[in-house]
Amino acid sequence: MTRIVGALALLAVTLSSTACSDRAGGEQDRAAAPAAVPVGVATVAQKTVPLQVTAVGNVQAYTTVGVTAQIAGQIVQVHFSEGQDVKRGALLFTIDPQPMEAAVRQTEANVARDVAQLRQAEAALAQRRAEVTQALANVERDLAQMENARVQEQRYRALVQQELIAREQYDQVRTNFAALQATVQAARAAVENARAAARAAEATVENARAAIKANEAMVDVARLQLGYTTIRAPMAGRTGSLLVQAGNVVKANEDGPLVVIAQVHPVYVSFSVPEQHLGDIKTYRAVGGLKVEAVIDGGQRTAVGALTFVNNTVDPNTGTIQLKATFPNTDDALWPGQFVDVALTLTTETAVVVPTQAVQAGQQGSFVFVVKPDLTVESRRVKTGRRFPRELVIEEGLRPGERVVTDGQLRLVPGARVDIKAQTSP
């Protein structure tokens, strides 16, 4: 009986020891297995991506105009604020108009005086022409009388030669004929005098008309200069710093611009690319217009424009060629003088892409963590291609549909288990 009790006690101790050993072993196994690392992943995608040439560009105003004074005078009023957008023809400055208003009145008075003188000259000319007409009529009358006297003188001469009339009668007829000849000569001289007076009157009229034209031209000049006292915007755009304040006296086209207006709708972005891209640019541009994107606000915004200019010469010092793109800039995202990252799209092609943050840099090059079906990861080397703001082209190393880690890589090692917290597609 005593041996049975002892055996039972020994069995109980043995079972208890075994149970404790099993529990301890299980806890050690659980402690040895590492916890899954929480990560974010993205699916490798095959997409149509642009073939681009990138560069750093500089924003330039589409057109810049310096507004200058075209007449000397004192600026009495400025009609805009610095940095204000103005329309074409908007009033910018007023120069004291009083001197030019006086000049206009003076020249208009000169024209009125000349018009009055012209009317007097025309009246005198009409009188001289009437005198010419009267003198010609007198000549015609005197010629007729002289012709009658000549006929009578011939008849009386024959009669006196035949002694049919007294010599005194013939002498009287001959004297009358001679007097009429003198009268005709005087009448003809009067015609010439009247014609000379008429020509002088015509010259006076022409001089008066010329004076009117000259003074009318002076009126036009004075009015033009009066118009110059209001300075207007030659184009629509944005004003810069005000370079001359009200009260200053300016000279015509001598003191530099009063303000500079820049047209910013649209704007240019000027950039240069290596000359080896010139052939591709010419080829693709011949097919159709080329899109240009400008990245601004640290990559948060992208403005879209079009390539509008390729310089005709490669810079031999840098081996680059200058290009310009035109952007509508309706939202004022681009500012003249600003530097932006530029991407010129030549064409599009199909490529494998992943989010930029999925690719890590190692001693042997770029690599990614690929999530396998059993939720463990492997480190895989990849060959990268073009980089976009949020995506990277993978030329070798990945297949569409695979999953890569995009967040949490610093806690991973090859073979580690992962717990997927977020999954996105590029």
Chain segment 81-118, per-residue pLDDT in tens: 999 999 999 999 999 999 999 999 999 999 999 999 99
Q: What is the pLDDT of residues 39-66, one digit of tens each?
A: 999 999 999 988 889 999 999 999 999 9
The pLDDT of residue 156 is: 87
Q: Looking up tokens 């009033």, which residue turns up?
A: 91
The pLDDT of residue 420 is: 92
CB 247 within 8 A of CB 118: no
Take residue 26 and report the two structure tokens written for it: 């299980």
Average pLDDT over residues 260-277: 96
pLDDT at 142 over 80: yes
Q: What is the pLDDT of residues 231-257, one digit of tens each?
A: 999 999 999 999 989 989 999 887 789
Take residue 48 and report the two structure tokens written for it: 């149509």
Q: Which residue has the higher pLDDT, 9 or 325?
A: 325
**CATH (residue range 99-227):** 1.10.287
Q: Which residue has the higher pLDDT, 26 or 164?
A: 164
Within the chain, all domains assigned CATH 2.40.50.100 are found at: 69-96+229-250
Kindly state the percentage of the chain with pLDDT values over 70: 92
Average pLDDT over residues 256-277: 95
CB 425 within 8 A of CB 45: yes
Phi, psi dihedrals of residue 185, rounded to the nearest 5°: -60, -40
Average pLDDT over residues 413-425: 87
Within the chain, all domains assigned CATH 2.40.30.170 are found at: 50-60+264-350
The pLDDT of residue 388 is: 79
Spatial separation of the C-alpha atoms in residues 22 and 12, rounded to whole Å: 15
CB 346 within 8 A of CB 360: no
pLDDT classification of 357: cutoffs 50, 70, 90: very high
Residue (of 76, 78, 81) closest to 92 by Cα position? 78
Architecture of the structural domain at 50-60+264-350 = Beta Barrel (2.40)
**CATH (residue range 69-96+229-250):** 2.40.50.100
Q: Which residue has the higher pLDDT, 303 or 21?
A: 303
Q: Taking all residues of the chain, what is their mean pLDDT, rounded to a whole number?
A: 88
Spatial separation of the C-alpha atoms in residues 355 and 53, rounded to whole Å: 20
The pLDDT of residue 17 is: 45
Within the chain, all domains assigned CATH 1.10.287 are found at: 99-227
